[in-house]
Chains A and B, each alone.
Chain A
């Protein structure tokens, strides 16, 4: 009941925050209109490049749609593996984390896609392995992100007091039931802010697949810069502002979603003290 009433009545702080946000957006819009009016912002050009950037956005979206879920599932599994009693699982988890965490994502992406396309060409006589190589590069990024998420999940699991596990076992719950009913829900709740952070990072890391020919947003942006007939500072500025806005939009959608999930997992009495 308290949950519902909280959702309806907005605090003054929330209202102020929203008002400031709306004012900032209106201000930015006014600046653009004013620049356009003074002839300093080429609105026709700004509109003409939107289609190209949206094509890039589709590729970025596909990459994000692969990297976040795959990274989460892989990260979750290995993070959990590192907390088990089996030393084989623990060693596997540690090896995975240490390997993928110590590689620059760019190196992982370029190396894995190169190796796969060479293999495909040499042994399976695939003429144009570009799409597969691109997919493998995206997966390599997912595994890189997974190594960070594994540590986040492990920290979450370690944050659950062992006394609760003992209490669950004392009730007659099996190890699996204890894991899924007691440990993981609490580990997940604790991990969410850090996971949201990692998602925001990896969205921007998808720009690295441009190195293996993935035509994503930032690649589309730099292609526009290179292909511009008359390269004015004005146009370059417009291109990167639009690219930045698309990333901002994408990141905001993901982080707002994570915050929604966070709120759903909120435990009454366990909120951090408001400073």
Chain B
């Protein structure tokens, strides 16, 4: 090297020494002077959360009704992103977001930015393809509730929001059991230290009393009935009166719980347990049963029907304004005479009559395992809204608010020797800590077995005489129609009614009780012409699905069995 080159070399060396000097200053600053300050910012721990899987819901035969699937969260680590512009241009059409918004996330200062909070698996797949070309992309699964049967049993199942909380129905009622319990623990970053162990409590699985085939059939019939009678909405409940097990619970219109966020908010409530209405004439069965049980009348009693009865200043008249004169109890039910029902309740007196109604469960929730059950309303003496005339109105199902479930539950006493079983939907719970099986619970026994049988027999005759539309071949049906007026703000509407039919079979040894409610049928208002034929269709299919033999075969088998003994 010559002198000039040597000089030039020293210029470079001086530059290097300057660099070393600056580095030394920085090291002294960060390691010594401000060292403790920076060291204090270090985190040698991280919190790890173990998320449990939500429990599965099965029908009584093990068909899956609610399970889990995944959505995906798309996020980026901005410090790992190299080609932000290119990546944002690729993401823009996939995520349907403005490029500026994506760029802001890609150029953020934070170590982690969420670009899309929740996208479907299809979109996540497209993003996954981009991962081969671009750095810094992250795709994380998010739990999503999946209902493989779509809107089947929708109101009853309910839905699960994106935070993992059940929003209605079983999902809401069994939130704690289904959700399980997340566990979290503080882990050391260093793998050299002893780490805690964590295990989440997994969600419990539910097995329902509902049969998927029965439910599907019921929903089909309900939809058909709404179309046929041009009704606005409707509810059908099918229950086993011997246990309180709900075999089907359907309301229409429905929604798809997979897409609960698109559903109209009014659809999210379950009308079977949350809607309250005046049940109308079906209530006469309860009035009759109470009168028989209390000894006020016998099945052979008669009363004089003058076509009008004034109670507490309110005049009760028959629906057809008739005045049939001396009338027996069966005819009272068959012709659905309001004056007759009011005669029974007034004969019993308010205290005794109301006691019976309370025993039947009116005015309090049934306690079924569903979220948002309504209690109904039944003002009693002493309450502010109580007037003497309610005694008459209650007897034929007016001025009292009930839910469809309350109605079928009360009626189940007539089909189950006077005992009301608490209605329930979950037959079994399978949890990590063992299994639970539901044992039927007697809620109350408002009437004797004899009174129940007598009322049932009268209801059989009444159906046979007046409601042939509810009859099916080979089976004895006990039941009652109802054509309830709808009151809005205390005024009964002229043209809108709720048509109902409640019935149970076989009448001598009931295995199933069905409640049909159609709201505002436009073609024909009468329960006997709308709800009753729907009941008959249901009954015809149910005896097959539930394997209920026709009366004559069953009775012959009973006789044969008795002989062999």
Asked if A and B are interacting partners, one says no
Using a CB–CB distance below 8 Å, which chain B residues touch chain A?
Answer: none
Using a CB–CB distance below 8 Å, which chain A residues touch chain B?
Answer: none
